[in-house]
Amino acid sequence: MKPEPQINRRREEFPTLATGIHLLSHSLGPVPRAARESMRAYYEAWEHHTSEDAWASSWWEMSMRVGDRIAQVLGGVPGSVQTQPNASIALASVASCFDFKESDRNKIVTSALDFPSMEYIWDAQSRLGANVEIVHSDDGITVRLEDILEAIDDSTCLVALSHVSFRSSCRVDAKAIVERAHKCGAMVLLDVYQSAGAVELQATDWEVDFLIGGTIKWLCGGPASGYLYVRPDLQKDLTPRLTGWVAHDEPFSFASAPMRYADSVRRFAQGTPSIPALYSVLPGLQIIEEVGVPTIQAESQRRTEWMIEFALEHGWKVNSPANVEDRGASVMIYVEDGPETVKRLAERKVFVDCRPGVGLRISPHFFNTDEEVREAMGILGELMKEKTPK
Ligand SMILES: Cc1ncc(COP(=O)(O)O)c(C=O)c1O
């Protein structure tokens, strides 16, 4: 492995790191120590606020403040992110902005490597007239950029893809996709759940229209707070049907319909924000901001490169792209019996998971040491040897 740089890994701020080697950031980040204090602050606020002052002051603004901090991680400006209950709702909110039956522009381009919610939600939109095209993957690991670009045409209203696939860690070229889509008059939504906090994102520079994701994984937040980024100059053109009183221009006027949407990204809210989830997000966000995504990405690239080399030297099948620009922060390694291997690794205090077809998902984050990564791969090597018939 290339030499370990001197960075503050903040390990003492994640108490559960003492219990084993945490390589699960694609699923559930470790709890920051400060989350206990943050949740206590929530409890105290709940205990002491009257309904009026909770809503009139701190709680009402909290969603906006958390949104602005997430916007920074995404490479967007303040006022571009509305927190959401989860990423699936964020996606459904965007889907509800389109009138597929009313327009010839009714095609949605997605990919075979997206998270299932993506497929389910678009499939449900086909009942409303959406024409859904799923760009295939020949190998179950990658989707060719040419195939994505080719699927985008003048009938496309939205290209909606994972920026980094939860299945294989395959990363798409955001800029090229946005460029092509905008040329055809289509918009682009990227699901950045598997990249935000581990891969540098440039929402503003990419000119991407929507980003969705959540905080529980690479952002070390609690379960769970989702978010929706909407390009600032696009916001006022959209009127999501998935809505509620918080999205109203004057929520506390409790006005009758028709809906008058807020003149800000809050128009993508629905009902009462999940306040405890917002408290649980803050400590992780703080640490990610302080360590810095560029540092985190450089560390991830150095480690995943070494892991892939190690795996290939041992003759294992790597189910993630080899090129660092084409992958996120996880490495997928094929094993015959995923659940059994996960269990045996856990017995040795190495925490990973698996997905059908791809095998193990292994994700070093900034808080892991090189020694841990080497040890985990060494233990996997021992288990693999035991399985290989002599
Ligand atoms: C890429 C991706 N998108 C979406 C989700 C699900 O998000 P939510 O449960 O917030 O809807 C996940 C969860 O693993 C994911 O990895």
CATH dotted code for 36-288: 3.40.640.10
The SS3 of residue 227 is: strand
Query: How many C-beta atoms surround the C-beta of residue 143 within 10 A?
Result: 26
Handedness of CA 282, 285, 286, 287 (dihedral sign): positive
Tell me how far the alpha carbon of residue 114 lies from the centroid of ligand 1, in angstroms: 9
Give the neighbor-by-neighbor strand order of the sheet with 107-111: 81-84, 226-230, 210-214, 187-191, 156-162, 107-111, 131-135
Both tokens of 296, joined, read 């985190």
Q: Is 211 in the pocket of ligand 1 (CB under 6 A)?
A: no
Distance CA 338, CA 317 (A): 13
Q: Is 214 in the pocket of ligand 1 (CB under 6 A)?
A: yes
Q: Is 88 in the pocket of ligand 1 (CB under 6 A)?
A: yes
Which class is 11-23+292-387 in CATH?
Answer: alpha beta
pLDDT tens digits, one per residue of 197-239: 999 999 999 999 999 999 999 999 988 799 999 999 999 999 9
DSSP at 178: H
Q: Is 87 in the pocket of ligand 1 (CB under 6 A)?
A: yes
Q: Say yes or no to pLDDT of 389 above 70.
A: no
Which residue has 């958390």 as its token pair? 66
Chain region(s) in the chain for CATH 3.90.1150.10 = 11-23+292-387
Can you give the C-alpha Rg of the chain in angstroms?
22
Tell me how far the alpha carbon of residue 190 lies from the centroid of ligand 1, in angstroms: 12
Bridge partner residues of 171 (DSSP): 164
Chain region(s) in the chain for CATH 3.40.640.10 = 36-288
Both tokens of 22, joined, read 């945490």
Both tokens of 361, joined, read 């998902």
Predicted TM-score of the model (pTM):
0.97
Q: Say yes or no to pLDDT of 386 above 90.
A: no
CB 364 within 8 A of CB 23: yes
Most informative mutation of 94, 193, 358 for ligand 1 (most atoms within 8 A of CB): 193
Tell me how far the alpha carbon of residue 193 lies from the centroid of ligand 1, in angstroms: 6
Tell me how far the alpha carbon of residue 328 lies from the centroid of ligand 1, in angstroms: 15
b/e per residue 27-57 (b: at least 16 CB within 10 A): bbbbbbeebeebbeebeebeeeeeeeebeee
- Average of per-residue pLDDT values in the chain: 95
Tell me how far the alpha carbon of residue 50 lies from the centroid of ligand 1, in angstroms: 35
The SS3 of residue 262 is: coil
Percent of the chain with pLDDT over 90: 90
Query: What pLDDT score does 58 carry?
Result: 73
Percent of the chain with pLDDT over 70: 97
Across the range 69-95, mean pLDDT stands at 98
Write out the DSSP string of 147-158: HHHHH--TTEEE
Across the range 327-356, mean pLDDT stands at 97
DSSP at 171: B
Backbone angles phi, psi at 333, to 5 degrees: -125, 125
Q: Which of 3-12, 19-28, 226-235 has the lowest mean pLDDT?
A: 3-12
Across the range 82-98, mean pLDDT stands at 98
